[in-house]
Structure 1
Amino acid sequence: MGSNLCSKLQALSSKIKQASFNGKWREVLSGYSEIQRAGNQFNDPFVFPIVFKACAKLSWLLQGKCIHASLIKRGFESFVSVGNSIADFYMKCGDLCSAMRGFDCMIARDSVSWNVIVFGLLDHGFAEEGLRRFSKSRVLGFEPNVSTLVLVIHACRSFRSYVDGEKIHSYVIRSGFWGISSVQNSILCIYAECDSSSARRLFDEMSERDVISWSVAIRSYVQSQESVLGLKMFQEMVREARTEPDCITITSVLKACAVLEDVDVGRSVHGFSIRKGFDLEDVFVRNSLIDMYSKGFDVDSAFRVFDETTCRNTVSWNSILAGLVHNQRYEEALKMFHLMRYEEAIEADEVSLVTLLQICKFFEQTLFCKSIHGVIIRRGYELNEVALSSLIDAYTSCNLVDDARTVFDSMTYKDVVSCSSMISGLARCGRPNEAISIFSQMRDKANAIIVIHLLDACSVSADLRKSKWAHGIALRRGLATNDISVGTSVVEAYAKCGAIETARRAFDQITTKNVVSWTVIISAYAVNGLPDKALASFEEMKREGYTPNAVTYLAALSACNHGGLIREGLMILKSMVEDHNKPSLQHYSCIVDMLSRAGELDKAMELIKNLPEDVKPGASAWGAILSGCRNRSKSGIVTLEAIAEVLELEPLCSSGYLLASSVFAAEKSWEDVATMRRLVKERNVRVVAGYSMVLEGTKARRFLAGEKPKQSDCELNDVVQSLHRCMRLDDTIKWI
Structure 2
Amino acid sequence: MVQVTKLRGIRESLKPPHSHWCRCSINEQGSSRNALVVYKQTRHEGAQHDPNVVPLLLKACASLSSVKVLHAESIKAGSDSDVFIGTALVTTYAKCGVVWDARKLFDAMPERNVVTWNAMISGYMRNGDMESASLVFEEMPGKTGVTWSQMIGGFARNGDTATARRLFDEAPHELKGVVTWTVMVDGYARKGEMEAAREVFELMPERNCFVWSSMVSGYCKKGSVAEAETIFGRIPVRSLEIWNTMIAGYVQNGFGERALQAFEEMRAEGFEPDEFTVVSVLSACAQLGLLDAGKQIHHMIEHKRLTVNPFVLSGLVDMYAKCGDLVNARLVFEGFTQRNICCWNAMISGFAINGKCREVLEFFGRMENLNIRPDAITFLTVLSACAHGGLLSEALEVISKMEAYAIEMGIKHYGCMVDLLGRAGRLKEAYDLIKRMPMEPNETVLGAMLGACRTHSDMKMAEQVIKLIGTNSITRADSHNVLLSNIYAASEKWEKAEKMRGIMVDGESEKIAGCSSIIFSDFFADSSMTKEVSH
TM range (shorter): 0.7 to 0.9
Residues 1:643 and 2:474 aligned together: no
Contact 1:665 1:673 in 2 (8 A): no
- CA, structure 1 residues 459+372, in 2 after alignment: closer, same or farther (shift >3 Å)? farther
Q: 1:267 pairs with 100, 110, 113, which one?
A: 100
Residues 1:414 and 2:238 aligned together: yes
Contact 2:188 2:196 in 1 (8 A): yes
Residues 1:539 and 2:371 aligned together: no
Q: Could you say which structure has the greater relative contact order, defined with CA pairs below 8 angstroms and 6 or more residues apart?
A: 2
Q: 2:480 pairs with 649, 652, 660, which one?
A: 660
State the 1:529 CA deviation: 1.5
State the 1:677 CA deviation: 3.6
Q: Secondary structure at the match of 1:513?
A: coil
Q: % of aligned pairs identical?
A: 21
Residues 1:508 and 2:338 aligned together: no
- Residues 212-269 of structure 1 deviation map (CA, whole Å, 9 limit, x = unaligned): 44334544x37xxx688984774464255442254444444455466xx6313x4322
Q: Where does residue 431 of structure 2 map in the other structure?
A: 605
- CA, structure 1 residues 454+487, in 2 after alignment: closer, same or farther (shift >3 Å)? same
- CA, structure 1 residues 580+338, in 2 after alignment: closer, same or farther (shift >3 Å)? closer
C-alpha distance in 2 between matches for 1:593 and 1:325: 42
C-alpha distance in 1 between matches for 2:235 and 2:171: 33
Q: Secondary structure at the match of 1:583?
A: coil
The two structures, once aligned, show a CA RMSD in angstroms of 3.9
C-alpha distance in 1 between matches for 2:237 and 2:22: 31
Q: Where does residue 476 of structure 1 map in the other structure?
A: 303
C-alpha distance in 1 between matches for 2:427 and 2:184: 47
C-alpha distance in 2 between matches for 1:528 and 1:275: 64
Give the TM-score, by structure 1 length.
0.57
- Residues 190-220 of structure 1 deviation map (CA, whole Å, 9 limit, x = unaligned): 969976879969x97997665444334544x
- CA, structure 1 residues 560+293, in 2 after alignment: closer, same or farther (shift >3 Å)? farther
Q: Where does residue 716 of structure 1 map in the other structure?
A: none
State the 1:415 CA deviation: 2.4
Bigger radius of gyration? 1
C-alpha distance in 2 between matches for 1:361 and 1:498: 37
Q: 1:570 pairs with 396, 401, 422, which one?
A: 396
C-alpha distance in 1 between matches for 2:413 and 2:131: 35
- CA, structure 1 residues 289+474, in 2 after alignment: closer, same or farther (shift >3 Å)? farther
- Relative to structure 2, which stretch is displaced further, 411-420 or 494-503? 411-420
- Aligned residue type for 1:547: R
- CA, structure 1 residues 585+457, in 2 after alignment: closer, same or farther (shift >3 Å)? same
Q: 1:555 pairs with 381, 385, 392, which one?
A: 381
C-alpha distance in 2 between matches for 1:255 and 1:410: 40
Q: How does 1:21-32 map to 2 (within 5 A)?
A: none
Q: Secondary structure at the match of 1:649?
A: coil
C-alpha distance in 1 between matches for 2:474 and 2:358: 35
- Aligned residue type for 2:104: G
C-alpha distance in 2 between matches for 1:502 and 1:535: 20
C-alpha distance in 2 between matches for 1:623 and 1:290: 52
Q: Where does residue 290 of structure 2 map in the other structure?
A: 463
Q: Where does residue 336 of structure 1 map in the other structure?
A: 163
C-alpha distance in 1 between matches for 2:514 and 2:135: 50
Q: Where does residue 259 of structure 2 map in the other structure?
A: 435
Give the TM-score, by structure 2 length.
0.76
- Residues 367-396 of structure 1 deviation map (CA, whole Å, 9 limit, x = unaligned): 3343233123xx122xx1111111221122
Q: How does 1:634-713 map to 2 (within 5 A)?
A: 634=459, 635-646=461-472, 648-649=473-474, 656-657=476-477, 659-666=479-486, 667=488, 668=497, 669-677=500-508, 692-698=516-522
C-alpha distance in 2 between matches for 1:218 and 1:444: 38
Residues 1:244 and 2:92 aligned together: no
Q: Where does residue 522 of structure 1 map in the other structure?
A: 348
Contact 1:192 1:216 in 2 (8 A): no
Residues 1:386 and 2:210 aligned together: yes
Residues 1:371 and 2:199 aligned together: yes
Residues 1:451 and 2:278 aligned together: yes
C-alpha distance in 1 between matches for 2:289 and 2:89: 47
Q: Where does residue 276 of structure 1 map in the other structure?
A: 109
- Aligned residue type for 2:382: A
- CA, structure 1 residues 531+677, in 2 after alignment: closer, same or farther (shift >3 Å)? farther
Q: Where does residue 42 of structure 1 map in the other structure?
A: none
Count of paired positions? 480
